[in-house]
Amino acid sequence: MTYATTHSGTTPGDFGRELLSNLYYQRGTTLESASAQDAYHSLALTVRNRLVDRYIRTAAAHYQENPRFIYYLSAEYMLGRQLDQNLLYSGTQECAHSALAALGLSGDELDALDVEPGLGNGGLGRLAACLLDAMATQDIPAVGYGIRYDYGIFQQEFQDGAQVEHPDDWTFYGNPWEFHASDDQQKVGFYGHTEALDGVRRKWVPGEIVLGEPSHMLVPGYGTTTVNIIRLWKARASPQSFNLSHFGAGQYGEAVEEIVRSENISKVLYPDDSTELGRELRLKQQHFLVTCALRDIVRRFRLCNSDWDHFADKVVIQLNDTHPVMAIAELMRMLVDEEGLDWDRAWSITRRTFAYTCHTLLPEALETWPVELMRRLLPRHLEIIFLINHLFLQEVADRYPGDDAKLRELSIIAEGAEQRVRMAHLAVVGSSAVNGVAELHSRLLAATTLHGFANLWPGRFHNVTNGVSPRRFVRLANPRLAELITERLGDGGWLTDLDQLSRLEPAAADPEFRRRWREVKRLNREDLAEQTLATTGVVLDPDALCDVMIKRFHEYKRQLLRVLHVVTLYHRIRRGEVADVVPRSIVFGGKAAPGYYVAKRIMKLANRVAEVVNADPAVSPYLKMVFLPDYNVSRAQLIIPAADLSEQISLAGKEASGTSNMKLALNGALTIGTLDGANVEIRDRVGGENFFLFGLDTAEVAALRGRGYRPRDHYERDAELREVVDAVAGWDGELADDLMHRDEYLTLADFRAYVDCQDRVARAWRDPEDWTRMSILNTARSGFFSADRTVRDYCRDIWHVTPVYVPR
């Protein structure tokens, strides 16, 4: 198979010798006495070494060119496993394979020891990883900044169907992929007070100092020389923090108290998604990240530049959601208080430097912080935010004279019983560009959530539709499909130019190609069935329609609607009404925030229904349902290639974009979905005839709410729905009660349309030739959803950067 990648020129012999050398010198052992961890670490180092040379050359080229850099600031990254990625990107997959075999080592066993860094919650964190991948692949000079959490997203287990969370100590056996750089440590202040200097300048005297210690991992581009980095910061206490006298007196807890307090900052990822979480430690994390990142950015800027007026020409800081938005106040503080720039000059630099991506429409997900908390924790930053707001509101008052409501609407400070800082407002005011993540989302942002700002500065608002890495989600996840596509297209160029997939369109009419396409899906379903059996004991039929819903558990995503349909099918099968029933494997994956009570109940209900369905011999020939625990990037790589049907059934207007919808369509799954997020664009591209559309659109949702929504009417009108809700009441009365009387996400309103649409799915599945044709067309027309295109859009519309080619 020929893929356009950088071949290392290494032979299996070289590779094996280097592995043995790493075993000897890095692990201090030999092949005969090596443990599995020894072998895994030596393998990882051998692969890593293949990328170091490219990284050094990238850094040299960047130093020489002094280009404009993208600095991506994100509190979350879901990087996925590094071993499979780095083997592929270093072009050493095959030679490593041969070398391991020659040494008598099992590649699969070592692969299983590679732990994925789960430093994020869901789509937002995975998007960050896909964009880093695409930036490197497009030769864009970029650094990702984040937090090196000791504990990533919790590991999920089910006990009696309920989610139980376990800590994810992802570096327990060490992390062979990272380089520590303690010389680049930064100091981060908290608390304290401010003192007057001259003019608006003030001095902040922090009450507590914590050290930020960076380490980086390599982010290789695919098919190119560029290797960028992601730099993650870990909180460290200063060596003086250890209290020797307490220890001497036997007070061991007190002796390490200060260390624990400081180091808690990067201890754990907050396991929440799309919700606001106002906790002091979280604000500390955010300030910690942005301070370390900004100081590092300034350090890098100064390597080649000296004039602050060039800062915004050389530096773009992309804020991934509101979590890193404190960077706006921190840069102002550095420029005004520390560097002595006058306010207007500092503000012009700051505003030109930042760009902000908003990832939500849910008001409850827009972060705000109590003014009093910020005053205590970051007194100088609060003063700066107040001044930014004061000057901004003068601008608003000039534009809308006498309009106090407008001032209240746009103000960075929300008034009320408790004053709060609205981080999204600060982000818009302090940035040169704001973008949503799908066309519909960007339109709704400008029309609703950020309406006032879009009127004030229409030119500042953009759309950049999300995308996914075809390397991660096709080539690595679905090697069989990648091989078939490569064979048909002649080479692997499509992996970096995904629009080339359109050349597959004629193949949809070729019966032999369709047969092979089906064969790939079938083998992938077999793999999934095998893993499912091993992890859950549930037996899936690899010939059944594989119907997949994989995403965080959230009410707006409507996993509950999915469960209602399963119960509907269950009742029909029990009654012997199987005309519209085809054998299906219902696959769920996803975590719920530990404190999200309702989402956890829905999850438990799903597990309960699965139990009932799977245990019923009359039903299980038609229906199997499995909830794969601990959904993460690796599990996604297993499930997505096997999927035939992709469930994207959120209430219209709630899902900003979604990205599993893209990954699944790209792998030939057909979507059943609402007109929400990026579903709209997927349908536009793959064609309405190859997409199962149902449900209310955003205008209809608004109209229904306007009329006054009464879920009970649907219950009374629809006998089949009544039967389903009554069954749910038997399992969980509270959920059923909520559905009948509140149903915030209009589940019952969309039920009938959804069930009827699922019947259309079943009828379509009965015609395998036509289904396969639609599946191929989904893949062929999904080239747009490559993260490479997303990065090109950012480059053109927001970043205004050009690639820097690194010589081979």
CB 410 to ligand GLS: min, Å: 23
Q: Are 70 and 141 within 8 A, CB to CB?
A: yes
List 40's β-bridge partners, or say none.
none
CB 559 to ligand GLS: min, Å: 14
Q: Which residue number, 85 or 322, has a Cβ lying nearer to ligand GLS?
A: 322
Q: Please name which of 284, 361, 287 lies closest in space to residue 327, comparing C-alpha atoms.
A: 287
Supply the DSSP string of 115-149, one letter for each residue.
---EES-SHHHHHHHHHHHHHHHTT--EEEEEE--
Give, for 162, the enclosing helix (H) or strand (E): strand 162-166
CB 551 to ligand GLS: min, Å: 8
Q: Which residue number, 274 or 496, has a Cβ lying nearer to ligand GLS?
A: 274
Q: Are 585 and 647 within 8 A, CB to CB?
A: no
Q: Which position among 359, 460, 472, 558 bears the catalytic label?
A: 359
List 673's β-bridge partners, or say none.
648, 693
Supply the DSSP string of 599-653, one letter for each residue.
HHHHHHHHHHHHHHHHH-TTTTTTEEEEEESS--HHHHHHHGGG-SEEEE-PPTT
CB 133 to ligand GLS: min, Å: 15
Q: Which residue number, 214 or 658, has a Cβ lying nearer to ligand GLS?
A: 658
Q: Which residue number, 284 or 359, has a Cβ lying nearer to ligand GLS?
A: 359
CB 677 to ligand GLS: min, Å: 5
- The position carrying tokens 């009417």 is 713
663 is catalytic: yes
Q: Which residue number, 123 or 590, has a Cβ lying nearer to ligand GLS?
A: 123
Q: Which residue number, 668 or 677, has a Cβ lying nearer to ligand GLS?
A: 677
CB 696 to ligand GLS: min, Å: 18
Q: Which position among 472, 604, 663, 685 bears the catalytic label?
A: 663
Q: Which position among 659, 671, 698, 747 bears the catalytic label?
A: 659
Residues in contact with ligand GLS by CB under 6 A are 122-124, 127, 273-274, 359-360, 365, 437, 466, 655-659, 677
Q: Which residue number, 326 or 656, has a Cβ lying nearer to ligand GLS?
A: 656
Q: Are 110 and 39 within 8 A, CB to CB?
A: yes
- The position carrying tokens 């007190």 is 254
Q: Are 511 and 769 within 8 A, CB to CB?
A: yes
Q: Which residue number, 294 or 424, has a Cβ lying nearer to ligand GLS?
A: 424
Angle of helix 326-333 versus helix 343-353 axis, rounded to 10: 140
- 3-class SS string, 211-256: EEEEEEEEEECCCCCCEEEEEEEEEECCHHHCCHHHHHCCCHHHHC
Structure tokens at 710: 């009464």
Distance CA 682, CA 501 (A): 15
Q: Which position among 231, 351, 557, 773 bears the catalytic label?
A: 557
Q: Which residue number, 257 or 276, has a Cβ lying nearer to ligand GLS?
A: 276
552 is catalytic: yes
Distance CA 472, CA 486 (A): 16
Question: Closest residue (Cβ) to ligand GLS?
Answer: 123
Size of the chain in residues? 808
What's the CA angle centered on 443, arms 439 and 448, to 5 degrees?
A: 145
CB 127 to ligand GLS: min, Å: 4
- The position carrying tokens 């990142």 is 293
Enumerate residues 6+ apart whose C-beta is below 8 A from 201.
336, 337, 340
Give, for 382, the enclosing helix (H) or strand (E): helix 379-399
Give, for 203, the enclosing helix (H) or strand (E): strand 202-205
Q: Please name which of 512, 509, 494 lies closest in space to residue 666, comparing C-alpha atoms.
A: 494
**What is the torsional sign of CA 409, 411, 412, 413?**
negative
| Burial class (CB within 10 angstroms; exposed 0-12, middle 13-18, buried 19+) of 209 | middle
Q: Which position among 54, 81, 351, 552 bears the catalytic label?
A: 552
Distance CA 186, CA 211 (A): 6
CB 552 to ligand GLS: min, Å: 7
Distance CA 486, CA 467 (A): 21
Enumerate residues 6+ apart whose C-beta is below 8 A from 780.
501, 502, 503, 504, 505, 507, 508
448 is catalytic: no
3 state SS of 507: helix
Q: Which residue number, 129 or 806, has a Cβ lying nearer to ligand GLS?
A: 129
Structure tokens at 590: 């996803």
557 is catalytic: yes
CB 657 to ligand GLS: min, Å: 4
CB 274 to ligand GLS: min, Å: 4
Structure tokens at 441: 């989302």
Q: Which residue number, 323 or 406, has a Cβ lying nearer to ligand GLS?
A: 323
Enumerate residues 6+ apart whose C-beta is below 8 A from 596.
272, 275, 553, 554
CB 635 to ligand GLS: min, Å: 16
CB 451 to ligand GLS: min, Å: 20
Q: Please name which of 474, 466, 471 lies closest in space to residue 437, comparing C-alpha atoms.
A: 466
Q: Which position among 351, 472, 551, 565 bears the catalytic label?
A: 551
Task: Kindly list the catalytic residues.
Answer: 359, 551-552, 557, 659, 663
